[in-house]
Amino acid sequence: MTNVSGNFQAPTYLAQVEQWGLQEITLHSTRHYDNPFTEVQLRGHFRSGEQEVVAEGFYDGNQTWKVRLMPQIQGRWTFDTSSNDPELTMQSGSFDVGVPGPDNHGPVTVQGQYHFAYADGTPYFPLGTTIYNWLNRDEKLELRTLATLTNSPFNKVRFLIFPKYYLYNTVEPPLYPYPLIGERTLSPDRFSGELFANSVQSVEEAFDLSRFNPAFFAHIEARLRELQTLNIEAELILFHPYDSWGFSNMGAAHDEAYLQYVVARFAAFRNVWWTLANEYDLFGRFLGDRMKEEKNWDHLFQLVQKLDPYQHLRGIHNCFDWYDHSKPWVTHVVIQHQGKELYQVTLDAKKKYSKPVIVEEYGYEGSIPFEWGNRSAGEVVNLHWEVTMAGGYGSHGET
Amino acid sequence: MTNVSGNFQAPTYLAQVEQWGLQEITLHSTRHYDNPFTEVQLRGHFRSGEQEVVAEGFYDGNQTWKVRLMPQIQGRWTFDTSSNDPELTMQSGSFDVGVPGPDNHGPVTVQGQYHFAYADGTPYFPLGTTIYNWLNRDEKLELRTLATLTNSPFNKVRFLIFPKYYLYNTVEPPLYPYPLIGERTLSPDRFSGELFANSVQSVEEAFDLSRFNPAFFAHIEARLRELQTLNIEAELILFHPYDSWGFSNMGAAHDEAYLQYVVARFAAFRNVWWTLANEYDLFGRFLGDRMKEEKNWDHLFQLVQKLDPYQHLRGIHNCFDWYDHSKPWVTHVVIQHQGKELYQVTLDAKKKYSKPVIVEEYGYEGSIPFEWGNRSAGEVVNLHWEVTMAGGYGSHGET
């Protein structure tokens, strides 16, 4: 095969981006790969004055690769690429980064030990709600959820990347994160009560885990942008145990490839927070040789820390046992606590870890016949008040 | 320059689409063009049994061309392409078209002379509202509008493609349909009262009309899909006189290129209706050598009729003088009438044209100090009732 240099395509990107906005370098290669996700490495090197950012690229389908940047300083930036594909490597260009728009205060970071602020110094007081599966249900419900958020006071939402299978959530999602191999045996329409045990096929039988489905991730990105427009922070929950597909149970190599792909795609969105898992401690109880114990979570945490050029906030959500939040890769303490003494528990967590504390699950408002989702409005106000008076932050949810 | 056939990229497309869904064939070329919008022709030929659809392709930026199809019958389809670019031509493939989803009844067509139905026979009773500039204001307002539509009874919305400049709408849009050349002199923030006369630069001074901005059109498409999800028909208003940029005044060649691009991109969305213009008759009153008179509208109407493989509904909206709706390319009568005798006017229009009648502007609900936007809720109900009792359809609006 001959490479005709005149045929190479120049990269495309915006000439002007705002500070903490999103720059995207799009590149093409005509080369054929059996698996472009695994065979091609691509990296962008971005520079402005003393600042250098190295960002991993990703394959977006359709012979297209992308590298994204969230520029943290204003001024002239230059970039070049490196890759094992001769058409993707040594591409370069420059662009200008200007003042942020009026509602753009940058990403949220820890401020004053126990609190939060945007990168420009504006204080940020989290008032979150929970919409675990909103992106993996039918589109009408998704738009109704977006409509509700548009008219709500919430400035943070928690949601899952992988689809959820649990009580009240037993449908197949419109899109899968990985390409299907052959026929998917559908999820049972009634939850058996056993976590992890609902998958009717092994994950490798149903999906090609060595490739991603770019449309699944592009869909999430469109909503990340809209949440940004609404000034809502997006807490992305990277793994969870409410599973009928096997995505909680892919093995270490696929977990790592997934995190790499997710961080390459999403880290440049300024409103992203990483939550390693929901109810992380359940992964160690029910799985066999693929269980994730605290040492595995340590490793995945560190991988995100290493991959993310912007050091977005990182936490992890428990069911029974708390993770050791004193570990250096944990930026803030996330607690599920539905027992008594919430004020004291919050206060103790602050003292123990010297980090901001968010009680993300003190019991959801609602009237279902389960302890986790039967709080009255009055109880919710009381619980939220206890957390707030202890100098923590509460997160809301409704069943 | 050598062309290495092994370097050619295969087209990408969905293996399975539902009837009246959207198939998109994506193609790449590595060839360099000074202007890929004007230098490259691309056409898709789609076949299934006896049915053949010829669809014009379009340049989507980034060395990427696309051809779209809304398949009207189920079964196996094949396609091939023709182009003056050797990398885009003679590409081929096949895919399956299956049963439509539960909310997909196909495009709306005229039924029973004066009424409407979806392609699958389900009756369609238009109850529209007016959101002229929703896609060209700030994104927050756009999301609030979408949120309102999500919780509203409306099954049709009327909106402009080009940005609007008029009383209460004097801002620059986030995106332009054409690339800017140099600096845009911003619109005055106070409307002078004169239509067409607010452009501070000639349109050619500010914009390169020989190229489109694909992001502007992709943004509209994302909303077309969401309107589809909400079962809302999208009446696209192709030209209008509330202009501070000169898009009402581009000259015949650019008008035609614009229609070609718009139809190539949007016609495959089943919920699209074409409205040639809002207040079409104003274009003939104030413009010089570029005025559009009835004969020009005839021509533009016929161009849309010729380009659109699916024959979506076509109408035109007046200010004072009615267009001759008996012309064969008009599928339904659109009326602005804010005077008396709305019942009789609707009845007469039905008799005169033997087509469905939609009164799209009988006066908007609101309290602004202008006749066109000061109807009380009670008046609106009365006016809508008069139209309905005459066997026509009314369209709502709020100021």
- Most B CBs within 10 A among A63, A154, A232, hence the mutation to make, goes to A63
Of all residues in chain A, the one with the smallest CA distance to B4 is A2
Of B7, B12, B146, the CB nearest to A1: B7
Q: Is A12 on the interface with B (CB under 8 A)?
A: yes
Residues from chain B that touch A85, judged by Cβ atoms under 8 A, are none
B297 neighbors B276 (Cβ within 8 angstroms): yes
Residues from chain B that touch A91, judged by Cβ atoms under 8 A, are none
Q: Is A222 on the interface with B (CB under 8 A)?
A: yes
Cα dihedral: B162, B53, B11, A12 (round 10)? -10
Q: Could you tell me which of A376, A247, A360, A373 has the C-alpha nearest to residue A313?
A: A360
Q: Quick check: B148 and A143 CB within 8 A? A: no
**How would you classify the pairing of strands B42-48 and A75-83?**
unpaired
If DSSP codes are grouped into helix, strand and coil, which group holds residue B207?
A: strand
Largest CA distance in chain A: 72
Q: Quick check: B9 and A230 CB within 8 A? A: no
**How would you classify the pairing of strands A314-315 and B64-69?**
unpaired
If DSSP codes are grouped into helix, strand and coil, which group holds residue B397?
A: coil
Of A4, A62, A230, the CB nearest to B12: A62
Per-residue burial over B22-39, b = 16 or more CB atoms within 10 Å of its CB, e = otherwise? bbbbbbbbbbeeeebbee
CA gap A220, A265 in Å, rounded: 10
Would you list the DSSP string of B99-135? PPPTT----EEEETTTEEEETTS-EE---EEE-TTGG
Of B6, B31, B230, the CB nearest to A143: B230
A270 neighbors A70 (Cβ within 8 angstroms): yes
Of B30, B103, B230, the CB nearest to A7: B30
Q: Quick check: B143 and A226 CB within 8 A? A: yes
If DSSP codes are grouped into helix, strand and coil, which group holds residue B201?
A: coil
Phi, psi angles (nearest 5°) of residue A24: -135, 120
Tokens of B135: 């896609």
B394 neighbors B350 (Cβ within 8 angstroms): no
Q: Is B16 on the interface with A (CB under 8 A)?
A: no
Of A2, A146, A151, the CB nearest to B2: A2
Q: Could you tell me which of A279, A392, A280 has the C-alpha nearest to residue A345?
A: A392
Residues from chain A that touch B141, judged by Cβ atoms under 8 A, are none
As to burial, measured by CB atoms within 10 angstroms (0-12 exposed, 13-18 middle, 19+ buried), residue A157 is buried
B190 neighbors B208 (Cβ within 8 angstroms): no
Residues from chain B that touch A151, judged by Cβ atoms under 8 A, are 144, 147
Tokens of A293: 């114990």
The interface predicted TM-score of the complex, written ipTM, equals 0.77
Angstrom distances, CA of residue B395 to CA of A70, B130, B155, B228, B392? 44, 8, 10, 19, 10
Of all residues in chain B, the one with the smallest CA distance to A232 is B140
Per-residue burial over A11-48, b = 16 or more CB atoms within 10 Å of its CB, e = otherwise? bebeeebbbbbbbbbbbbbbbeeeebbeebebbbebeb
Q: Which residues fall within 8 angstroms of residue B202, CB to CB, at 6 or more apart?
A: B246
Rg (CA), chain A: 21
Domains, chain A: 5-98 (2.60.40.10), 102-131+332-399 (no CATH), 132-272+279-304 (3.20.20.80)
Q: Which residues fall within 8 angstroms of residue A212, CB to CB, at 6 or more apart?
A: A37, A59, A177, A178, A258, A261
Is the sign of the CA dihedral B184, B185, B187, B189 positive or negative? Answer: positive
Own/partner long-range contacts of A4-12 (Cβ < 8 Å, ≥24 apart): A4/B1, A4/B2, A4/B3, A4/B4, A4/B7, A6/B1, A6/B32, A7/B1, A7/B3, A7/B4, A7/B7, A7/B30, A7/B31, A8/A87, A8/B30, A9/A87, A9/B30, A9/B63, A10/A91, A11/A81, A11/A91, A11/A93, A12/B61, A12/B62
Cβ pairs bridging A and B (under 8 Å)? 82
Interface of B with A in 96-125 (CB under 8 A): 103
B290 neighbors B335 (Cβ within 8 angstroms): no
Residue A368: the pLDDT is: 87
Angstrom distances, CA of residue B94 to CA of A65, B55, B58, B81? 26, 16, 20, 12
Which parts of chain B register pLDDT below 70?
A: 1-8, 196-200, 286-289
Rg (CA), chain B: 21
As to burial, measured by CB atoms within 10 angstroms (0-12 exposed, 13-18 middle, 19+ buried), residue B16 is exposed
Which parts of chain A register pLDDT below 70?
A: 1-8, 196-200, 286-289
Of A9, A61, A229, the CB nearest to B139: A229
B125 neighbors B116 (Cβ within 8 angstroms): yes
Helix, strand, coil shares of chain B, percent, nearest 5, are 25, 25, 50
Of all residues in chain A, the one with the smallest CA distance to B138 is A229
Angstrom distances, CA of residue B194 to CA of A54, A106, B133, B293, B375? 53, 41, 19, 19, 24
Total H helices, total E strands in chain B: 9, 19
Would you list the DSSP string of A131-158? -TTGGGS-HHHHHHHHHHHHTS--SEEE
Residues from chain B that touch A222, judged by Cβ atoms under 8 A, are 222
B211 neighbors B179 (Cβ within 8 angstroms): yes
Residues from chain A that touch B15, judged by Cβ atoms under 8 A, are none
Residues from chain A that touch B139, judged by Cβ atoms under 8 A, are 226, 229
Q: Which residues fall within 8 angstroms of residue B164, CB to CB, at 6 or more apart?
A: B132, B133, B136, B240, B242, B243
As to burial, measured by CB atoms within 10 angstroms (0-12 exposed, 13-18 middle, 19+ buried), residue B186 is exposed
Going through chain B in order, the beta strands assigned E by DSSP cover 16-18, 23-28, 42-48, 51-56, 58-59, 64-69, 75-83, 92-98, 108-111, 115-118, 123-124, 128-130, 156-160, 233-239, 272-277, 314-315, 333-336, 357-361, 393-394
A176 neighbors A207 (Cβ within 8 angstroms): yes
Q: Is B15 on the interface with A (CB under 8 A)?
A: no
CA distance A7 to chain B (A): 5
What secondary structure letter does DSSP report for A34?
Answer: S
A257 neighbors A301 (Cβ within 8 angstroms): no
What is the per-residue pLDDT across B204-245, written as a single tens digit (0 to 9) for each?
889 999 999 999 999 999 999 999 999 999 999 999 999 889
CA gap B43, B62 in Å, rounded: 19
Of all residues in chain A, the one with the smallest CA distance to B8 is A30
- Residue identified by tokens 């990347």 is A161
- Most B CBs within 10 A among A30, A140, A211, A225, hence the mutation to make, goes to A30
Interface of B with A in 135-154 (CB under 8 A): 139-140, 143-144, 146-148, 150-151
Residues from chain B that touch A2, judged by Cβ atoms under 8 A, are 2, 4
Query: What is the overall mean pLDDT for chain A?
Result: 93
CA distance B11 to chain A (A): 8
CA distance B9 to chain A (A): 6
Q: For residue B185, how many other CB atoms are within 10 A of its CB?
A: 12
Is the sign of the CA dihedral B168, B169, B171, B174 positive or negative? Answer: positive
Residues from chain B that touch A30, judged by Cβ atoms under 8 A, are 7-9, 28, 30
Residues from chain B that touch A226, judged by Cβ atoms under 8 A, are 139, 143
B314 neighbors B330 (Cβ within 8 angstroms): yes
Estimate to the nearest angstrom the gap between the alpha carbon of B59 and the chain centroid: 18
Residues from chain B that touch A12, judged by Cβ atoms under 8 A, are 61-62
What is the per-residue pLDDT across A46-55, written as a single tens digit (0 to 9) for each?
999 999 999 9
CA gap A247, A258 in Å, rounded: 10
